[in-house]
Chain A
Amino acid sequence: MNELARVAFALSIWPGMLGATALGLLYLWVARKLTARLQGRRGPPFYQPLFDLVKLLGKRTVVPRDANRGLFYALPVVAVAATALGLVVVPVPGNPVPSFPGDVVLLLFLLEVPVFCDVLAGYVTQSIYGQVSAMREGVLMLGYNVPFLGAVVAMAQHAGSFSLSELHGAPWGAVCAFAAIAFLLAIPARLKSNPFSIPNAEQEIVAGAHIEYNGAPLALFELSHALEVVLLVNLFMVLFVPSVGDPATDALLYLASSIALVCAVTAIAALTARMTVVRAFRFYWVWGGIAAVASMAAAVVS
């Protein structure tokens, strides 16, 4: 019972739905505000992502005539559920659920589920734009997973275990620097932000996989995106930001590193234009591959 209560708390309050939604909406606002400032505009007020979400929940849902209704409604729910479960697994400060061996593998699997939901959503909507976006997202995923998985596996090799808490407590080494670079290379593509915003290229394919989504399903997809930001930022913190012992300082460090990462990704997005999917794939296999191999070599050598 105690275990169940802890998982329920972690899933619903912290670091799950409630806490992660609040943080995710904050990060979305930081991204939009920083983008606006970098473009010389004023930008939206801090409550904007919350109102966007609530407004979408209050709209009626129009389902395309030939779309599979069950899949149409189920995909965003599955995406949110997978991201929420992933949040439970990552040992951020204040997470009551203890880490267990192999939770890294579970987390990597859960991280892929929202991507699959996006790809399927592109096909479910029967729209040509959605299908193009789904194809591009699939190709991009084959690209960014090279440095992403390489980084995580290298850190696991360095810590000698597939348990996230042990990865968090692993001592500093050269492998951490290489793995951090490989991980950071993959982040913009996971978040679908420039220069890797190919799956939702507004000027080309309108809105990508979500083009026919509206109302509450779209709200859930936006929520899963916000939760995915929090999850990736949490994972970065767990892998590369060491704990200082004092829980208050840990929490502060967590927040500071999260905002810094979000700001860095946003700044790169404001700086760059979109790459084509072929170029991005090549980039990830060449440079991402080099970074992944370097981190794994560093892990094996040290």
Chain B
Amino acid sequence: MNPLAWLLNLSRRKSPWIYCTSAGSCNGCDIEVGPCMSPRYDAEQLGVLRQGSPKHADILLITGPVTRRSRDALLAVYAQMPGPKAVVALGSCPASGNVYARSPAVDGPVSKYIPVDVWVPGCPPRPQQILAGVAQAAQLLARGLTADQKREAAS
């Protein structure tokens, strides 16, 4: 591997910028993402920055069971993220819908619409678990193993 590619892969692991979006969540998981940037857990020491625009982010954090109303917004956000990108699903809702699964307003799980790279289970997951999920996604980005990168390599 040439040194430029090595440097690029290293920088993808060292600089994971996140964007958090809610697909109709109860906000429990969203609230747990907040402490990750606080002094107690300080995600910035891993290089994590929480961005306000999906265009600036590498890792998408999804909460919520994908309600019908939020589905198009979720797909638009995912499309606007420039590759290579990773997706982390927080909590039980994106994985299965949790208690909302059989509601007529819910159209999940999230893997029906976008490929998920890391699942962080919990209801809600602890901030340490969320950070572990982000770190895992950063590792996948560095090794080229995210679903988006594999699709790009195959095409």
Q: Is B31 an interface residue (CB 8 A)?
A: no
Q: Evaluate contact between B12 and A42: CB separation under 8 angstroms.
A: no
Question: Of the 9-residue stretches B79-87, B90-98, B103-111, which lies at the interface with chain A?
Answer: B79-87
Task: Give A60 to B84 CA distance when docked, in angstroms.
Answer: 7
Q: Evaluate contact between B45 and A42: CB separation under 8 angstroms.
A: yes
Q: Nearest Cβ distance between residue A294 and chain B, in whole angstroms?
A: 40
Of the residues A39, A44, A212, contact of B47 by C-beta under 8 Å: A44
Q: Is A211 an interface residue (CB 8 A)?
A: yes
> Which residue of chain A has the shortest Cβ distance to B81 in the bound complex?
A62
Of the residues B14, B53, B80, B82, contact of A59 by C-beta under 8 Å: B82
Q: Is A19 an interface residue (CB 8 A)?
A: no
Task: Give A183 to B31 CA distance when docked, in angstroms.
Answer: 42
Q: Evaluate contact between B15 and A52: CB separation under 8 angstroms.
A: yes
Task: Give A205 to B80 CA distance when docked, in angstroms.
Answer: 18
Chain A residues touching B, range: 20 to 34
| Chain B: interface residue total (CB-CB under 8 A) | 24
Q: Is B51 an interface residue (CB 8 A)?
A: yes
Question: Of the 9-residue stretches B3-11, B62-70, B116-124, B127-135, which lies at the interface with chain A?
Answer: B3-11
A62 with B42, Cβ < 8 A, contacts A48-B15, A51-B14, A51-B15 known: no
Q: Evaluate contact between A42 and B42: CB separation under 8 angstroms.
A: yes
Task: Give A54 to B12 CA distance when docked, in angstroms.
Answer: 8
**Chain B residues numbered 46-80 whose CB sits less than 8 Å from any CB in chain A:** 47, 51-53, 55-56, 58, 80
Residues of B near A59 (CB, < 8 A) are 58, 82-84
> Which residue of chain B has the shortest Cβ distance to A127 in the bound complex?
B53
- Digitize A125-156: 1 where CB-to-B-CB distance is under 8 Å, 0 elsewhere: 00000000000000000000000000000000
- Digitize B26-49: 1 where CB-to-A-CB distance is under 8 Å, 0 elsewhere: 000000000000110010110100
Q: Evaluate contact between A60 and B83: CB separation under 8 angstroms.
A: yes
Residues of B near A218 (CB, < 8 A) are 56
A39 with B39, Cβ < 8 A, contacts A48-B15, A52-B47, A60-B82 known: yes
Q: Nearest Cβ distance between residue A200 and chain B, in whole angstroms?
A: 10
Measuring CB to CB, which residues of chain B are less than 8 angstroms from any residue of chain A?
A: 7-8, 10-12, 14-15, 38-39, 42, 44-45, 47, 51-53, 55-56, 58, 80-84
Q: Which 3 A-B pairs have the closest CB atoms?
A: A54-B11, A206-B52, A51-B11
Between A and B, 22 residue pairs with Cβ closer than 8 Å are A36-B44, A40-B39, A41-B39, A41-B42, A43-B42, A44-B44, A45-B45, A51-B10, A51-B11, A51-B47, A52-B11, A55-B14, A55-B58, A57-B8, A58-B12, A59-B58, A62-B81, A207-B51, A207-B52, A207-B53, A211-B53, A214-B56
